[in-house]
Amino acid sequence: MELQLRAGASGHVTAGVATLGGRTAMLISADSPHRRGALAPADSETIVAGLQTALAKRLPVVLMLSSSGADAHHGVAALHGWGEAARVLVRCSGVVPILAGVTGQAISGIALLIGLADIVVMADDAYAFVSGPVPVQEMTGVVIGPDELGGAPIHARASGTACAITSADDVLETLTDMLAYLPHHCDELPPTIDTADPRGRLTPEAGALLPTQATGAYDVRGIIGESVDDGCFVELRAGWAPNMVTGFASLGGYAVGVLANQPMSIAGTLDIAASQKGARFVNFCDAFGLPLVTLVDTPGFYPGKDLEWRGMIRHGAQLAFAYARATVPRVAVVLRKSYGGAYIVMDSKTMGNDVYLAWPSAELAVMGAEQAAQILRRGADPTEIADYVADYEGTYLNPYVAAERGYVDGVIDPAHTRRELIDTLDMLSTKRERLRQRRHDNTPL
């Protein structure tokens, strides 16, 4: 830490400017072992002072947290302090990146602070919840331990709060690695990532990963790894909504955000969690100027009564809203399937995409051939249906019809994917959009 601005009255909260991996950031550490980890009002004042300085100096915020929240001995004054911290953290949102590391417990108010962060990394033995095991038992009768209620694995797989899990000693290092892809603030261009990986390197291995069967599964992270600089991909929220892959990488030195459908999980279909995961990531990248690279292979939205009742329409719209609002450079590549509503929301030209590419294996259509036959040739004999399926596949399930109509900008050889992406980023590097003046939009929640 280069400069300590302030230390809390208890000595367990510090805020100061630090250099992390060559990047300057406001490092705020709240680690309080006294009174079972509770923090006094003076401690929250230290956090507020650090956040206000980060906002004024346009520095990323890195929170290192381990606390049970407000100290009950201070009454409502403690609650006021945490509310003030949350308010200033919201003011920082979208202006400077907010990264949080949880090294122990994060309970009540401090748990809500990590919910406001852009990126959260948890130690493997950490836990976080708003209401602990005792209130849960009193209100519901369910006996549950802190790890089962809010342990790091729960937040990595079920809640989506944790972007990554690591050992307590590696939490800050992991946050530092992620910070390397981000600008200091929203008015600064993303950093250039040093790489010796040739810009024109061919990627024949990427195309070889596609199975010969149209319904075959493969790991899309292999295609990402073959395409990005040095095969380095920093994945976020790998355990939550695994049918959508999100993370940071670089292409020709450009720091980018990558989104991809994952055919290994429910065939890469979109459900509520995947829509939320993708929308949150698109919004984050758009806030800090990271170009978006989208790899598409999805047969559509996952069908089901439960999903529809839980708000598939509303949550699916989040992803469409995020892409349509994004003004950063956006390039998408259709690897295989892109059907129906999922075609629209996965950064199609309709959503304002800048460059939309496709592999020769791409299938862009309202639905697959079998589904179309069931609807359009219902009741026909098997021979007629088979002929219709073959005709439908030959006519519609290719990228060339869409390219003729301007919905696809180019059909590319999979071996040229990396080169095409970098050339596109070069072309879009000067892209700027003037934002419309309005109070704010109203994203579906």
pLDDT level of residue 35 (50, 70, 90 thresholds): very low
Is the pLDDT reported for residue 62 higher than 80? Answer: yes
Q: Which of 267, 268, 261 is nearest to 223 (CA)?
A: 261
DSSP annotation string for 99-133:
EEEEEEEEETHHHHHHHH-SEEEEETT-EEESS-H
CA distance 428 to 216: 34
Q: Regarding predicted confidence, which is higher, 90 or 214?
A: 90
Q: Is the pTM higher than 0.85?
A: yes
Average pLDDT over residues 38-42: 69
Q: What is the mean pLDDT of the chain?
A: 90
Residue 28: per-residue pLDDT? 94
Average pLDDT over residues 279-306: 96
Q: Regarding predicted confidence, which is higher, 4 or 393?
A: 393
**Sign of the torsion angle spanned by Cα atoms 287, 246, 292, 254:** positive
**Sign of the torsion angle spanned by Cα atoms 283, 287, 288, 289:** positive
Q: Regarding predicted confidence, which is higher, 35 or 167?
A: 167
Residue 350: per-residue pLDDT? 92
Residue 412: per-residue pLDDT? 97
The label of the residue with tokens 């367990």 reads 12
Average pLDDT over residues 96-108: 93
SS3 75: coil
Q: What is the pLDDT of residues 320-340, one digit of tens each?
A: 999 999 999 999 999 999 998
Q: Where in the chain is the domain with CATH 3.90.226.10?
A: 3-179, 204-362+398-428
Q: Regarding predicted confidence, which is higher, 193 or 135?
A: 193
CATH homologous superfamily for 204-362+398-428?
2-enoyl-CoA Hydratase; Chain A, domain 1 (3.90.226.10)
Structurally, what CATH architecture does the domain formed by 3-179 represent? Alpha-Beta Complex (3.90)
Q: What is the pLDDT of residues 269-286, one digit of tens each?
A: 999 999 999 999 999 999
By the 8 A CB rule, do 264 and 236 touch?
no
Is the pLDDT reported for residue 232 higher than 90? Answer: yes
Q: What is the pLDDT of residues 6-24, one digit of tens each?
A: 555 455 789 999 999 999 9
Residue 34: per-residue pLDDT? 42
By the 8 A CB rule, do 365 and 377 touch?
no
By the 8 A CB rule, do 20 and 179 touch?
yes
Q: Which of 272, 276, 303, 298 is nearest to 217 (CA)?
A: 298
Residue 282: per-residue pLDDT? 98
Q: What is the pLDDT of residues 238-255, one digit of tens each?
A: 999 999 999 999 999 999
Average pLDDT over residues 180-205: 96
Average pLDDT over residues 129-134: 90
